[in-house]
Each structure stands twice: as C-alpha cells, then as structure tokens.
Amino acid sequence: MMKLNSSKLNRAVFIPATVVIALLLSFSLIWPSVAKATFSAVQSGITVNGSWYYVLAVGIILGFVVYLGMSRFGDIKLGPDHSTPDYSMTTWLSMLFAAGMGIGLMFFGVAEPLMHYLSPPTAEKESLDAIRDAMKITFFHWGFHAWAIYAIVALILAYFSYRQGLPLTLRSALYPIIGDKIYGWQGHVVDVFAVVGTVFGVATSLGLGASQVNAGLNYLFEIDVSQLNQMLIMIAIVSLASVSVVTGLDKGIKILSEVNMGLAVMLLLLIFVLGPTVFLLQAYVQNFGGYLSDIVSNTFNLFAYEKKEWIGGWTIFYWGWWLAWAPFVGLFIARISKGRTIREFVLGVLIVPTMFTLLWMTIFGNSAISQVVDDGFVRLAQMVGENTSVSLFVFLESMPWSTALTGLSILMIVIFFVTSCDSGAMVIDMLCSNGNNDTPVWQRLFWAVCVGLVAIALSYAGGLEALQTMTIASALPFSLVLLAACIGLVRALRVESAKRDSMQLNVSMTNAYDNTDNWQEKLDNILSTPTKQNADVFIKRRVSKAFNQIKRQFEANDIDVEVEATTAGLQLKVYHGDEHDFVYAVKKSKHLQPEFSSDNESDSDTYYRAEVHLVEGGQDYDIMGWSEAAVLNDIVDQYQKHLHFLHLIRD
C-alpha cells in the first residue's frame, strides 16, 4: 500500500482548491444573475429528471446504515482492537450535534412546521390534517435520513483511516474502488471537490445565519437590519472562530460544543415548561409514531401521480443539502469517533441526535402552531412567509421572559456558527494536509478567514443563493461516489469477518510447546509486576532472538520478512505480495499494579506488559517472561491463523 507524503501541506490539493474557489467566487460576484440562472437551471434539471435517484439513493443509505449497526460487523472497532474512544459519550454527542444540525434547528425549528401547516403538499391548508402532516413532514426531513447520510460518510472515512491506515481525507472513501490510485490525481480531484464544497457550504450558512442574528439583535436592541450589520456580524463570528482555531479541537470546539449543548437543553426545557407542556408530550409521542408508521412510504414517495412540484422545493432540496454537507460533517464526525465500535457509532450518530432533533422540532414547531391556531397569533404566520430568519424571535415574543429567551437564542446561534466555522476550517485544513491534524496554525487560520471572506463577499454581491444552489447540485456526483464507497466498505468488512473467523481456528496453546515443567516458575512469572527496564530487556533479548530466528526460517523458504524496531517494541512483518501481509509485534504497555501485588509497597504503582499486536491492533495478552520457544510457537500459531484467513477470502 502506498502512502501520502507526510508533508503538512498537500500543494496538489491546496493550490487547485484555492484557484477554483477564487474562480467560482469571481463568477458569482461579477455576474451574479448569470451564476444564479446557471446553477438554478442545473438544480432544476436534477430535480425534474433525477428526483427518483435522490430518493432511492437516500433510502438505500438509510437501510445500509441500519444494517451495519445490526449486523455481525457491529463489533468491529473504528481503530485498532485495543483502541478506546478519544472523547466521553457526552462530549462526542455534543460535538457531532453542533457540527451537524445545531444551526438548522435554530433557523427552521419554528419556521418549517408553520410553513407546512400553511401550505401542505396534500392536506387542506390550515386544517387539522395540515397540522399532523406538518409535523410528519418536518420529522421526515430532519430525522433518520439526514443523520444516516452523515453517518455513512463518517463511518467509511473512520474505518479506512483508523482501521486500514489510510489518510483521513475524502479520497480514502474511493480506496475500495480505485486502490492506490487515491494517492494520484484522482485522489487530489476528490479532495479538491470536498474543499470547495465545504468552503461554500459553510460560507453560505454563515451568510444566511447572519441575517437571523441581525434580526435577534434588532428585536433586543433595535439594531438596524442591514447588509453592513450582517457583514460586521460575520466578521465577529469569524474572529471568534479564529481564536477557537488557535486553541485546537480539544479546547476550542470541544468546550464550545459542550457549552452550547447545555444552553440548547436549557432553552428546550424553558420552552417546554413555559408552553403547553402536557400537549407537547402527547404531540411528541404521536408525531414520532406517525413518523415511524409512514417512514417507508414517505421515503419512496415522489408524488408521481399527483404531479406536484412541492417535492423539488422541499424533500429533494433537503436530500441534496444533506449530501452536499456530508463531506464536511462526515469527516468531522470521523475525526472525533476513533475507538468506537460500528454498532456504538451507528447508535450514537443515527439514534441519539435524531431523537433530540425530533424533540426539538416538536417543542418549537407544535408550540408555534399552537400559538397561531389556539392563541390567534396571526402575525407569527405572516412573518414566517415574509422573513424566515425572524420567525424564532417573533415566536419568543409571546413567551414569558421573552427578552431573556431571545438573548439566549442569539448566544446559541453565534456559538453554533463559531463551531461550524471552526470545525469547517479544521476539516478543510485536513483535506489540504494529507489528513494531518497537527498542522501549523496559519493553515487553519487561512481557511477560517477564507470562509468568512467568501461569505462577506457573496452577501455583499447577492450571490449567496447562487452558491447555495451550486452546492446542492454538487450532491449528485458525490452521491454516486458514496454509493460505490458503500459497496467497497461491505467488501472490506467481509474481509474483516473472514479474519475474525480465522482467529477462531483451533490451534494448540503456545505454552504446550514450552518444555518447562516448573509450574512454580510459571506462576511467579504470571504474578510478577515487571518494570519498564524489564520489558525493554525482554523485548531486546528474547523477543528479538525469536524474531530473527523465525526470519531466517522464512527466508530459507524464499519469503520476504522484515524485523524492525518501533517506539514501543519490535515488529515482524511477513510480506505476501498482493495479499494481506502478516504482522506480529510485541509492544510494552504500562498498567496500574493490581491491589494484591506484593510490589505495591514500591515507589511505582505501575508495571509493564509485553503485549502482542497484530494488524488489527492489540490482542490484549501478555508474553512477558515467555521462553524463546514459547514466543516462536505463538508467532507460528498466529501465522497459521493468518494463512487460514487468506484461504477464506480466496474462496
């Protein structure tokens, strides 16, 4: 397998991406009407002729993600077998939620249910059926399908990066299809595509969201709603994001995401308690039941017989938007998901955020409809039609403590935009840096500022809508790549399954080959708590002798073998040409001493193990103190299992 250059900057991606962004930005600034017409024509053509494909593709993706979570592949880790998650469950969920849906919920939580109520696709408008349909449709657009798209991109990238050692960039999704060509121009093109899409996707959202912040500030402080103020808001958000970028993922995005998740829960509880509480509980249960009961028919409903254009402006628009955002959000989720099993990943990315998202839509959406229908708050319905960005603040007007709730909402929106801009800059930088995340600060700052400048320029020239349309149209080619990558993922997981089956092959226990009959010596070895020096000496002397002895035996059979020192120990690698190579490594690892240990009175409360690692990662057993013959026989045992694995995948 080839490797990407370890350079901090991949010029083959950085330079073309920058040029393409400049050209598209110039096109949208110089000829905004032409750009809008061109991109709109492309999107219209896709909607008219390709809506069936979008619906089918997203349905397949959702089914595939559910299958992976429930299948025998669910126990496979996104990383070596010995890896553990980098972040706690709460932090992980907060970070993926902030990047994936946070901004959209603030913008559409009130507006979309009301819009469907006022103009439903099939029911009579402003009727009881329209209320039911409004919530079903909102759940459908913001539910499992959206998170499944994010999940499959993140899962593919995390698996091939952390499990197979490929770079954490979008090109790795193509590895099952084109192999080592991902390191050539084909891979560069894919990463350039992802960079351009992410820049314009984040910039478009930043520009559109500035109008919502401006509307909230107008309500609180009577600040004018103007283009200049919105540009100043974007400058402030990008400045805050730049500070977060400098502090890094574990301080900037992590802390902001946890804070905003807490604020989101607080706002949700306040609206829940101050609103029609019992009704909202009833509505959530009924909405969710209606969503689940109709999910299959709605997934494949194209309104083919009704000949309605509604689906193009709503469902197809959403599917295209989620797909267009998937390279950015998916890569970010992959970055923070190392060490989790596929089943845990699917539950965390698909189920938990969806349940919270749908609860949010119920509390805000049903409360807003209740204000219009039950309380006669007609102005809210009028404002939704006139200016969607104002709908949240108009909704909060009729709530107790409206000023405090509005201030809290503005703070949340700003933090959501800061985390999106920050995580967007991090993702773009990784795409331009061979998947590295320890790049110089100037590179991350460059992309954070770039996103802000693009958003400001497009807002000034009125080109945001054109670029939003272009971003959604780009979802078509990406979806084709994504479906092909799903096939490649299944093939790779089947190889994993065969490897696991081969590990179940019954072979004699290693110590059965050891002629030592002194059981007291064996027990003392098991109960001992070696130091780091003991582990180093054992690996350098006994393991090294065993490795070199078996290396000579392999070479006598014309098999290419390499023994090399690693930072933690020693590694033996047996090459098998185009087939999977065999790797057997012994690495020292530090652990806390057990309470029963007789060495607990010593200065150190730790001891070292000499653990076996294969290609899949640590095997969680210790060979410290084994004889040279025992080590040799363990290598032979593992090699026999590897040959059985190769036999299984050949059939």
Strand partners, 592: 606
Mean pLDDT of the region 442-450: 88
| Residue 467: pLDDT band with limits 50, 70, 90 | low
Mean pLDDT of the region 80-108: 82
| Closest-CA residue to 211 (of 392, 51, 353) | 392
| Residue 272: pLDDT band with limits 50, 70, 90 | very high
Mean pLDDT of the region 578-598: 81
Please say if the pLDDT value at position 527 is more than 80.
no
Are the beta carbons of 362 and 280 closer than 8 angstroms?
Answer: yes
Which range scores top for mean pLDDT: 193-207, 345-359, 633-647? 345-359
| Residue 287: pLDDT band with limits 50, 70, 90 | very high
Please say if the pLDDT value at position 291 is more than 90.
yes
Between CA 432 and CA 34 the distance in angstroms is: 30
- Chain-centroid distance, C-alpha 140: 21
| Closest-CA residue to 90 (of 335, 466, 353) | 353
Give residue 513's pLDDT: 43
Mean pLDDT of the region 138-150: 94
Give residue 507's pLDDT: 46
| Closest-CA residue to 318 (of 546, 73, 143, 575) | 143
Between CA 240 and CA 230 the distance in angstroms is: 15
Phi, psi angle pair for 588, to nearest 5°? -80, 140
329 versus 513: the higher-pLDDT residue is 329
Between CA 555 and CA 570 the distance in angstroms is: 19
Give residue 3's pLDDT: 53
Residue type, 503: M
List the domain boundaries for the chain: 11-497, 509-650
Which ranges in 462-539 belong to alpha helices (H)? 464-473, 475-503, 519-527, 532-538
Are the beta carbons of 583 and 571 closer than 8 angstroms?
Answer: yes
| Residue 366: pLDDT band with limits 50, 70, 90 | very high
Strand partners, 591: 607
Between CA 548 and CA 535 the distance in angstroms is: 18
19: its two tokens: 């040029």
Phi, psi angle pair for 42, to nearest 5°? -65, -45
Between CA 14 and CA 430 the distance in angstroms is: 10
Number of alpha carbons in the 13 Å side-chain half-sphere of residue 68 = 32
CA distances from 392 to 70, 112, 222, 225 (A): 38, 11, 16, 16
- Residue 7, burial from CB neighbour count under 10 angstroms (0-12, 13-18, 19+): exposed
Are the beta carbons of 560 and 645 closer than 8 angstroms?
Answer: no
520: its two tokens: 């007291």
| Residue 605: pLDDT band with limits 50, 70, 90 | confident
Are the beta carbons of 153 and 327 closer than 8 angstroms?
Answer: yes
Between CA 492 and CA 488 the distance in angstroms is: 6
- Tell me: the pLDDT tens digits for 38-68? 877 887 887 788 889 999 999 999 999 999 9
| Residue 509: pLDDT band with limits 50, 70, 90 | very low
Q: Which residue has the tokens 């590179």?
A: 443
Query: What is the percent of the chain with per-residue pLDDT over 70, rounded to a whole number?
Result: 91
Between CA 361 and CA 140 the distance in angstroms is: 11
Query: What is the percent of the chain with per-residue pLDDT over 90, rounded to a whole number?
Result: 29
CATH number for the domain formed by residue range(s) 11-497:
1.20.1740
- Tell me: the pLDDT tens digits for 377-422? 988 988 888 878 788 889 998 888 888 998 898 888 888 888 888 8
Please say if the pLDDT value at position 600 is more than 60.
no
59: its two tokens: 């349905």
Residue type, 66: V
For 46, other C-beta atoms within 10 Å of its C-beta total: 19
Give residue 568's pLDDT: 86
Mean pLDDT of the region 73-78: 91
Q: Of 91-100, 287-296, 301-310, 400-409, which range is least confident?
A: 91-100
For 285, other C-beta atoms within 10 Å of its C-beta total: 11
Strand partners, 612: 586
Q: What DSSP assignment string belongs to 176-226?
A: HHHGGGGGSHHHHHHHHHHHHHHHHHHHHHHHHHHHHHHHHHHHHH-----
For the whole model, what pTM was predicted?
0.82
Q: Which helix (H) or strand (E) holds 119?
A: none
| Closest-CA residue to 12 (of 229, 203, 167) | 167
Please say if the pLDDT value at position 602 is more than 60.
no
Give residue 519's pLDDT: 63
Mean pLDDT of the region 538-550: 91
Using CA atoms of 381, 387, 392, 395 in order, give the dihedral in degrees to the nearest 10. -30
Strand partners, 562: 573
- Tell me: the pLDDT tens digits for 101-110? 667 888 889 9
The answer for residues whose C-beta is within 8 angstroms of residue 278's C-beta and 6 or more apart is none
Are the beta carbons of 209 and 339 closer than 8 angstroms?
Answer: no
Number of alpha carbons in the 13 Å side-chain half-sphere of residue 303 = 16
Phi, psi angle pair for 250, to nearest 5°? -75, -10
Are the beta carbons of 614 and 606 closer than 8 angstroms?
Answer: no
Mean pLDDT of the region 635-644: 88
Going by the DSSP 8-state scheme, the letter that residue 564 receives in this structure is: E
